[in-house]
Structure 1
Amino acid sequence: MPIFTSSRFRRAVLPVALLLALAAPPAAAGDPPTREKLGEALFSDTALSFNRTQSCADCHNPMAGFADPRDGGVGGAASVGADGRSIGDRNAPSAAYAKFSPAFSFNAKGRAVGGQFHDGRAATLKEQAGGPPLNPGEMGMASKEQVRQRLAENPSYARAFVALYGAGVLDNADRAFDAMSDAIARFEETDAFAPFDSKYDRYLRGEYKMSPEEDLGMTLFFSTQFTNCNLCHQLKRIPASPGETFTNYEHHNIGVPVNAALRAANGKGPKHVDHGLRENPAAASAAQDGKFKTPTLRNVAVTGPYMHNGVFQELETVVRFYNSYNSRTVKGATNPETGKPWGKPEVAGTLSMTELETGPALDDRRIRALVAFLKTLTDARYEHLVK
C-alpha cells in the first residue's frame, strides 16, 4: 500500500516515482516515510490549491521537463491559475536542475546572481516552493492556515508530517507551511530533477558519438571566438565539463520584446512594463531594470516557448534573436516566426551590450548546428519529445 493517498499523486507523479525506483534500491515493505517522498506527494497534490484543481506538477510537469506543456490559450507563454481565468505575465521556468542555483547575491563584478524565479526573489528552493500556493493568480490559497487545514485533513499526511517534522507540526500554520515547503524542496533536490543523462552527458562518458552537426554546434557553443553563448551559459571554468548546468546564474537584460498577445490575454495591456530584477526587493534599483536570471539550457529543446515571457515559440528563433545583435542583414533583423522586425526591448536602458555583441554574425549552417547541440542537452527520458 502507498504511504500517501492523494489521487493526484497516483495519477501524475507515478512515472517519476518509477524513475526514482529504477535509480535506487527497492525500499523494503514498511520502510518509514522520507521528506523527499512526502514532497513527491505534495508536489502533485491538487488539495494545495483553493478549488482543488491545480498542483505544482501542473506548471512543472514531470513528463515535460518540469515545465508547463499546456497551451492555456496563449501558446504556452504563461500558465493559467487554479481559477481557470488568471494568466500570468511570465513563462513558468523549468524546475529541473533548479537546485543548483545559488542563493541570490551580488558577485565581485556587482552583478546579481542566483535565486529562484526569473527575478531571483526567492533565495532558496524552499522559499520558492512556498510561493505558488499563496499566490492568488496561481494556486490561490487564502492563507497558511488554510494550507494547514488541507494538510491535516489527509490522514496519511498527518502521520508522515508528525514522523518527519515532530509532534504538533500540523497544529500550527507557520510550522505546517514551513514543513510543506521543505518537503517539496527536498523532492526537487532529488536526482529525478537532475539526472545528467543527456546525449551530451553520455558523450562526455564515451557512451554517445556526436553527429557532425552536433559536434560543430558544441565547438561553436564553447568557443570564445565564434559565439557569445558561453559568456552566460557556461558555469564550469573548463569547457565541456561534467556537471555543467549551462548557466552562470547572472541576471541580464537581453532586450526581449513585449509579448503583445500575452499582454492582451492577461489584461495587463501594452503599457505595462515587467521590470524584472528591479522588482526583487534585494535589487530594487534602476540599474537592475529589465534584467532576468540566465536560465539553464538543460532540456531547453522540450521546454518552450522561450524567454521570460514566452515570446518565442522555436529554439532556432531564440538563436537568431541573439544573432540579430551582430547580424546587420535584412534577414538578421527579422523574426522568422512573424516575418516582422524583432520588436523593441521592453526595457532599453540596461542592455548587456558587451555580452550581446561579442562574437561575429552566424550563418544559417552555424545557427542550425547550435540548435542541434542544444537538443543534445535533453534528459534521456524526454528525448522522444525533441522535434
Structure 2
Amino acid sequence: MKNRTTLKLSAIAASFAVVLTATAATGQTFPPLAPLPPVPSPKDNPQSPEKIALGKQLFWDSRLSGDGSMPCVSCHLPALGWGDNNAISRGYPGTQHWRNSQTILNAAYYNKLFWDGTSTSLESEASSAAEGSVAGNGDPSVMEMRMRFLPEYVEAFKKVFGAEWPRMNDAYRAISSYQRTVVSDASKVPFDRYANGDRKALNDAQKRGMTLFNGKAGCIQCHNGPLASDQKFYNLGLPDFEGFKTDVLYQVTHRWEHYQKGVAEQKYRSADMDYGLYFQTKNPKDIGKFRTPSLRELKYTAPYMHNGVFKTLEQVVDFYDAGGGNAANKSELLKPLGLTAQEKADLLAFLDALSMSEPLIHDEPKLPGAYQPLPAPTK
C-alpha cells in the first residue's frame, strides 16, 4: 500500500487544470511537476496554532540537546535555507557529523526522511536528531526534566496536550507541527504560478529549461510530482567528501557510524565510503544509494548532495551532463546528456523557478526564562 502522503500528492497533481508534459527522452512518462498540495498531518498529531507556537519554541530551545548548545535551529537556520550551509553538518561539540544537513523546507511532504530514509515521519525524525550521538546528543529523560522545571513549558504542554508535565514524545509532536509550517508559498514560486495558469510567470529561458527538464536532460525521471522527488534511492557515483580521508574527527565519526550500523568488520575497518541505503538493508545492490532530494528551494539550500560535494548548481548540472560519476552499481538512468552551454543555462533558469522569489524566514521566538524549583510536595 502506498504511503498516504504519496497518494495525496499524486491525486492533487492530477487534478490541476494546467497539466505539464512529463515525458523523458526515453519515451517514459512520469508524474508531472505540480504545485504542492495542502500540508498533510497525521491523525494522531493534528495541527493547532498553540501546538505550532510551542513547537517553534522547542525548535529554537538549546535545552533540548545534550549540553545545551545544539537546538534544532543550530543545523537548520532560516537564513541559510533551513540547513547550515556546510558540506557536512556541524557535529555535537567534540565530534563531527558525517552527512550534509538537509534542509527541512517542505520536509512535511516526505514519506522518507534523512538521506537514507531511516525515518518515515517528522515525529521520529525529530527524536533521532535530538538524541543522535553526533547531532543533538540529548538524553530524553534529562531533556524532559529540564522542561518540567520551566513553568512556561509546564503550562503550555498542559494546554496543548492535557499533560500534567511536559513529555518528550509530546515535544517531538509539537516540533513536527511547527516543521509542517516550513513550506514553500506557491504565490512566490514562479513555476507554481505558471502551473496555476499565470503564463507570464516563467520567462522564455525558464520555459526552454522546463522542456529540457522533462525531456533531453531527463531530470523528470527522478525529480517528479509536486515535491520534485520520487523519494526513491539511487547511486550516482558521487565523489567522496575529502575530509573523511584527512580529518581525524571526521574519520572517528565515519568509522563509528559504520560500526554502530552493524556492517561487517572488513567494511568497518576500511570505512572507505558512505554506504547509504545499504546500512539499512545490508543488500549489496543498495551500496551508495541515497534518497532523491526535492528540487524545491534549491536557490537557498547549497551545498548539494548527501556529502555536500557540490557548492553550486552549475557543478550539479555539469555532473549530470557528464553522466554522473563512477560506481559499480551506478544508476542506469545516468548517461551523458550532451547539453550545450545554452541548454545548461536554460535548465539552471528553470531550476531557479522552483524556488520562492524570496527566502522563507521565521523570526526567533521568545523562550522561557530561568529554571524554577518545583513546588514542595504536599503532605
Shorter-chain TM-score bucket reads 0.7 to 0.9
Other-structure match for 2:60: 44
**Higher relative contact order (Cα pairs below 8 Å, separated by 6+ residues):** 2
Give the match for residue 215 of structure 1: 207
Q: How does 1:1-387 map to 2 (within 5 A)?
A: 34-69=50-85, 76-83=86-93, 85-102=94-111, 115-141=112-138, 143-170=139-166, 176-190=167-181, 192-196=182-186, 197-205=188-196, 206=198, 208-223=200-215, 226-235=216-225, 244-261=226-243, 263-265=245-247, 266-268=249-251, 271-280=271-280, 283-325=281-323, 345=326, 348-353=327-332, 355-357=333-335, 360-382=337-359
Q: Which amino acid is the alignment partner of residue 153 of structure 2?
A: Y
Task: Give the RMSD, CA atoms, in angstroms.
Answer: 2.2
Q: Percent identity?
A: 28
- The normalised TM-score by structure 2 is 0.72
Instruction: Report the CA distance shift for 1:207/1:37 in structure 2 as closer, same or farther (over 3 A).
Output: farther
User: Whole-Å Cα distance in 2 between the matches of residues 200 and 183 of structure 1?
Assistant: 31
Cα pair distance change 1:317/1:126, threshold 3 Å: same
**Which residue number in structure 1 is paired with residue 371 of structure 2?**
none
Residue 48 and residue 207 in structure 1: after superposition, are their counterparts in 2 closer, same or farther (change >3 A)? Answer: farther
Q: Give the secondary-structure state (helix, strand or coil) at the position aligned to 1:247.
A: coil
Q: In structure 2, what residue type is equivalent to 1:356?
A: L
Distance 2:300 2:245 in 1: 24
* In structure 2, distance between residues paired with 1:178 and 1:53: 21
Alignment correspondent of 2:261: none
How far 1:209 moved relative to its partner?
Answer: 3.2
Partner SS state of residue 381, structure 1: coil
Cα contact 1:77–1:262 (8 A) shared by 2 = no
Question: In the superposition, relative to structure 1, how do residues 207 and 227 fare at CA in structure 2: closer, same or farther (>3 Å)?
Answer: closer
Q: Is the 8 A contact 1:233 1:296 kept in 2?
A: yes
Q: Secondary structure at the match of 2:222?
A: helix
How far has the Cα of 1:207 moved from its partner? 7.3
Distance 1:187 1:254 in 2: 33
Kindly indicate whether the alpha-carbon contact (under 8 Å) linking 2:212 and 2:218 is maintained by their aligned counterparts in 1: no
Unaligned runs of at least 5 residues, structure 2: 1-47, 255-269, 362-379
Cα distance, 1:193 vs. partner?
Answer: 2.2
TM-score by length of structure 1 reads 0.71
TM-aligned CA deviation for residue 169 of structure 1? 4.1
Deviations 1:328-375 (A, max 9, x none): xxxxxxxxxxxxxxxx64xx232111x112x74211111111111111
Deviation (angstroms), 1:262: 5.2
Q: What's the CA shift for 1:313?
A: 0.8
Structure 1 residue 166 displacement after superposition: 2.4
Instruction: Report if aligned partners of 1:49, 1:82 keep a CA contact under 8 Å in 2.
Output: no
Provide closer, same or farther for how the CA distance between residues 37 and 210 of structure 1 changes in structure 2, counting only shifts above 3 A: same
Is 1:89–1:263's contact at 8 Å kept on the other side of the alignment?
no
| Contact 1:214/1:369 (<8 A) preserved | yes
Distance 1:324 1:100, change over 3 A: same
Counting matched residue pairs gives 294
